[in-house]
Amino acid sequence: MGYLRYVLQRTVILIATVAISITLVFFVPRLVPGNPLGAVFLKLAAMGGSAGAPELIEEYNRIFGLDQSLWHQYLSFMRELLRGNLGYSISSFPSHVIDILRPALPWTIGLLTVTTLVSWVLGSVIGAAVGWRGEKSRALQALVPVALVLYTIPYYILAIILIFTLAFRWPIFPLSGAYSVGLRPALTWEFAVDVLRHATLPALSIILVSLGWWFLSMRSLITTLKGEDYILYAEARGLPESRILWRYAFRNALLPQATGLAISLGHIVGGALITEVIFAFPGLGWLIYNSITSLDFPVIQGAVLLIIVSVALANFAIDILYPLVDPRIRYEHARRG
């Protein structure tokens, strides 16, 4: 009964969080000065269609509800959202917002899923080895300051450094984009290799920074666990050092590391937005950047809403599953209930 009450409380928190976030996502972009239809007017003028622009702009205002008060716009937005309709893009009308988000989402998920898992595995394994044997090996101990430097460098700064060294100074990898201009997406070896070459620098900038955090986190956990009674008992029994590390200490340290991984996976949809902008990588970050510059409210709302919901659901899943994994937490919540 206590666990059911705990689930209901977390569900209420989830709904409240999403509702407040949706409200902020709606109002904050509209506080930015500027007319979202200005870019449309400029496009019409560039194509020589400025003669009928006033009537068309007025029609656009009516279609997007911009001629109504903010309160009426908000109610209309919430009503359509409950129906699963994210509306039309202003700058790419008559394209639906969902049709604009759909092609950008796989690029972000693909990039961030691989980089998150690779950095988590490498950081956890190396951090465990350094935390256990670091005092006995100068080579392993030397990795600690390296991890500290990587962790403190913002990933977008590291991205700029990688561009300058590996794309500009020594043109080993492409400067930007997801694949070469003129190359059509297809399930071919040529296209796959080209995508990997373009994704190497953005992925490397994210992996190196994330690796520093996972390394330091696991090293700290292993160092703490070395003084636990079951570790000392295993050492007293004469068990091999490698077995004590990987079968006992590492497995117990994985629980908080796995929680951090779950949270990171929840942030995957959000992506490394600035990295995508720096590399002109066609994911959600690049899409949000272009939408902000053109004040495309519906696309901004749809993209940010997707990020908020994914993060909120990930945190909700962790809150629900964690008491089932760790009996100590389950007992605590049951007692409170």
Q: Please check whether residues 144 and 196 belong to one and the same domain.
A: yes
Residue 269's pLDDT is 53
Residues 6+ apart with CB under 8 A from 183: 190, 191, 194
CB 283 within 8 A of CB 107: yes
**Segments of the chain with pLDDT less than 50:** 51-52, 331-337
**CA dist list (Å): 121 to 113, 265, 273:** 12, 13, 23
Q: Please check whether residues 22 and 64 belong to one and the same domain.
A: yes
- Picking from 82, 115, 138, the residue at the C-terminal end of a domain is 82
Q: Please check whether residues 34 and 8 belong to one and the same domain.
A: yes
Q: Please check whether residues 70 and 111 belong to one and the same domain.
A: no
CA nearest neighbour of 125 among 259, 267, 249: 249
CA nearest neighbour of 185 among 257, 107, 90: 107
Summarize pLDDT for 21-71 with one digit per residue, the tens: 888 888 877 776 666 666 666 666 665 555 445 666 677 777 777 677 778
Q: Which amino acid is at 230?
A: Y
**Biggest CA-to-CA distance, the chain:** 89
Domain containing residue 240: CATH number:
1.10.3720.10
- Picking from 33, 54, 82, the residue at the C-terminal end of a domain is 82
Identify whether 305 is part of a domain: no
Residues linked to residue 88 through DSSP beta bridges, in sequence order: 96
Q: Please check whether residues 63 and 176 belong to one and the same domain.
A: no
Provide φ and ψ at 88, rounded to 5°: -105, 150
Q: Please check whether residues 262 and 141 belong to one and the same domain.
A: yes
Identify whether 220 is part of a domain: yes
Q: Please check whether residues 234 and 207 belong to one and the same domain.
A: yes
- Quote the domain boundaries for residue 8: 2-82
Residue 104's pLDDT is 83
Identify whether 135 is part of a domain: yes
Q: Please check whether residues 160 and 278 belong to one and the same domain.
A: yes
**CA dist list (Å): 57 to 48, 87, 103, 110, 226:** 15, 18, 28, 38, 69
Residue 335's pLDDT is 46
Overall pTM surpassing 0.85 (yes/no): no
Summarize pLDDT for 295-324 with one digit per residue, the tens: 777 888 888 888 778 777 777 777 777 666
